[in-house]
Copies of this chain bind each other. A is one copy, B any other.
Amino acid sequence: MRFRFTSTAIDTAQARRQLLDQGAGGYVSFEGWVRDFNEGQEVTRLEYEAFQELAVKEGERIVAEALQRFPVRQALCIHRIGNLDLSDMAVWVGVSAVHRGEAFDACRHIIDEVKHRVPIWKKEHYRSGDSGWVNCERCAAAPHHDSASHSMHK
């Protein structure tokens, strides 16, 4: 299993141990952290939600593709769901490889693809009291301003 979800803090030390390989000379990891500012708004916390059944399949496909495309040894991605505070880790990707260049390339490829393809959504809560689903609210704002459920969204 090379892609999984957790509803508690990601255990990076344990995850890293899965990637240890005596033939690997380089190891690259990425962590996505909850940032205090996004697109002009002060963020206070986040909620992550996933369509887990499909997300795990798509995540596994992404990591498997990376293992095929780049000459790397091991790769793994873990995504957090639920409520996160500032500086919490939302996602972790780790890759070990014989040479460091491929580890960097594969790690970056995996996180880029995960962000584009895996059905995960985040709702940002702002200092202003507003909140919004990232990538959903802005593009959706124009067509319908009449819906009552919109009152708390930007």
Q: How many copies does the complex hold?
A: 2
- How many angstroms between the C-alpha atoms of A109 and B61 in the bound complex? 29
Which of B27, B36, B101 makes the CB contact (< 8 A) with A23? Answer: B36
- Chain B neighbourhood of A32, CB < 8 A: 25-27, 100
- A104 CB to closest chain B CB (Å) equals 5
Question: With A22-B87, A25-B35 in contact, do A100 and B111 touch (Cβ < 8 Å)?
Answer: yes
- A20-B87, A108-B104 are contacts. A28–B25 as well, Cβ < 8 Å? no
Binding site for B on A (CB under 8 A): 13, 20-37, 86-87, 96, 98, 100-101, 103-104, 107-108, 111
Q: Are A31 and B27 in contact (CB under 8 A)?
A: yes
Given A100-B111, A104-B104, A111-B100, is A33 in contact with B24 using a C-beta cutoff of 8 Å? yes
